[in-house]
Amino acid sequence: MSITPILLVGAGRMGGAMLDGWAGVKAFDPAGIGVLDPHPSEAAARAAARGSSLIPDPSTARTVLLAVKPQIWREAAAELEPALAPDAVIVSIAAGVTATDLKAAFGGRAVARVMPTTAVAIGRGTASIYAADAEARARAHALFAPVATVVELEDEARMDAATAVSGSGPAYLYAFVEALEAAGVAAGLPAGESAALARSTIQGAAALMAQSGVDPAELRRQVTSPGGTTAAALAVLMGEGGLEPLLNKAVAAAAARSRELG
C-alpha cells in the first residue's frame, strides 16, 4: 500500500531534518510530500523548491507525520483531524505523547510513535518505533528506514527509555565534546587547537566503532595500556561518581521528563 501523499505537520528542527534526509537519498517523489507549518522553515522552503507543496490538502494525505512540539500537539490534532481521510495513518514523533492519546485525538485512526534523531538529515539517524497496528508500523518503517537505523520497540513503555538514550542522546555527545574542549584548554591548549583535536578525535573514534563493528568496551581496552595516560584518565571517568552513575542519572531524568510530557 502506498504511503504517499505524506503530510508533514510541523517542519521545524526535526520535521526539517526529515525533509532534508528524504531529499538526500531521494526516498520519495517531492510532489508526494505536503508540508503544513504556519512559519515554514528553510528546510520547508528547500522542499518547496524541489516540488513539495506548502499549502497541501490534508484530505489527500495517506500518511501524516506529526512533528510539532509535544506542548501543542492536541491543538494541531484538533485542527487537522476533521480534514483527514478516514483511512489516513498517523505517525507521531512528539516526545511522550502516547499511542492511546494520539488514537483518541485522531478519531480512532491507526497510529505509530517514533523517536528519531536529527542525524536523519544526513541519512544517519536512529529511530525507535512503536505501533500496535501492523499497517501503522509499516508506514513508520517506510518513512524512517531510508534515513535511519530503525529499532522496533515491542512495548510502548520502553519509548521513554528509548527517548532518553537515543532521542536526547546526540546532545550528550555534543556536551561531552564541549567539556573535552574546555578540559583541553584547562590543560594548556589554545582554544582552536583543543577544539580541532577534540572534534576530530571523537568523529574518528565514532567512525571506527561504526566501521569495525567492535564492542566499545573492547575498543577502549585496545587503546588503554596498563599504567599509561589513558588508564590515568579512565580511573577518573570510570571511577566513583564517573560516567556510568552520571549517565544513569541523566538518562533517568530524561525518561522521567518523557513520562511527564505524556
Residues 167-186 that bind ligand NAP (CB under 6 A): 167
Query: Given the C-alpha cell 573492547, which residue does it identify?
Result: 218
Binding mask 187-226 for ligand NAP (x = CB under 6 A): ----------------------------------------
Residue 15 as a binder of ligand NAP (CB under 6 A): the answer is yes
Nearer to ligand NAP, 9 or 27 (CB): 9
Nearer to ligand NAP, 27 or 164 (CB): 164
Handedness of CA 136, 148, 49, 92 (dihedral sign): positive
At its nearest, how many Å lie between ligand NAP and the CB of residue 16?
A: 7
Binding mask 33-52 for ligand NAP (x = CB under 6 A): ---xxxx-x-----------
Sequence-separated (6 or more) residues with CB below 8 Å from residue 47: 11, 19, 23, 30, 33, 35
| Strand arrangement, sheet containing 125-130 | 33-36, 6-9, 63-66, 89-92, 111-116, 125-130, 148-152
Nearer to ligand NAP, 146 or 167 (CB): 167
Question: Would you say 91 and 69 are in contact if contact means Cβ atoms under 8 Å apart?
Answer: no
Q: Which residues are paired to 112 by β-bridges?
A: 91
Q: Where are the alpha helices (DSSP H) in the chain?
A: 13-24, 42-50, 73-80, 99-105, 134-144, 159-162, 169-186, 191-212, 216-222, 229-237, 243-261
At its nearest, how many Å lie between ligand NAP and the CB of residue 197?
A: 27
Query: Given the C-alpha cell 492536541, which residue does it identify?
Result: 74
Residue 150 as a binder of ligand NAP (CB under 6 A): the answer is no
Residues 63-122 that bind ligand NAP (CB under 6 A): 67-70, 72, 75-76, 79, 93-95, 115-116, 118
Secondary structure, 3-state, 59-107: HHCCEEEECCCHHHHHHHHHHHHHHCCCCCEEEECCCCCCHHHHHHHCC
Residue 13 as a binder of ligand NAP (CB under 6 A): the answer is yes
At its nearest, how many Å lie between ligand NAP and the CB of residue 206?
A: 18
- For residues 7, 10, 13, 15, the Cα torsion angle rounded to the nearest 10 degrees is -10
Total residues contacting ligand NAP (rule CB under 6 A)? 27
At its nearest, how many Å lie between ligand NAP and the CB of residue 244?
A: 24
- Residue of minimal Cβ distance to ligand NAP: 12
Which one of 3-11, 55-63, 119-127, 146-154 is the stretch in contact with ligand NAP (CB under 6 A)? 3-11
In the complex, which residues of this chain contact ligand NAP (CB under 6 A)?
Answer: 9-15, 36-39, 41, 67-70, 72, 75-76, 79, 93-95, 115-116, 118, 167
